[in-house]
């Protein structure tokens, strides 16, 4: 299965307005990853309940790199689910 290269990818920036308003939540994204590990398509499967957080997750993950998944021992394009959490900490 394809998976994000977390060490290479920047985390989503917490939108200032969402932080100021105390908005938190988790976004579940469906990401279509090419055989070369590039994002070709991304969409929200389950939103956080706050559009500003959903958009921040989409915009960040669009630029991420992934380790491609394998089929029959060869890199292959595939869909993968990626959770993104926005939590305010004291």
Give the residue from 87, 40, 36 showing the smallest Cα distance to 63: 40
Q: What does the pLDDT read at residue 89?
A: 86
Contact 59, 42 (CB under 8 A): no
Read off the tokens for 7. 């060490």
First to last CA, the chain: 36
User: Is 90 a residue whose pLDDT tops 80?
Assistant: no
**pLDDT value, residue 26:** 97
pLDDT in tens, 1-59: 899 999 999 999 999 999 999 999 999 999 999 999 999 999 999 999 999 999 999 99
For 69-79, what is the mean pLDDT? 95
Assess whether pLDDT exceeds 80 at residue 60: yes
The whole-number pLDDT of residue 88 equals 94
């Amino acid at each position: 299965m394809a998976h994000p290269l977390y060490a290479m990818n920047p985390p989503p920036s917490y939108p200032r307005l969402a932080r100021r308003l105390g908005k938190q939540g988790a976004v579940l994204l469906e990401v279509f990853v090419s055989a070369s590990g590039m994002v070709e398509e991304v969409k929200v499967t389950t939103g956080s309940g706050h559009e500003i957080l959903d958009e921040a997750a989409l915009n960040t993950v669009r630029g991420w790199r992934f380790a491609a998944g394998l089929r029959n021992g060869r890199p292959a394009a595939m869909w993968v689910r990626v959770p993104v959490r926005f939590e305010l900490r004291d």
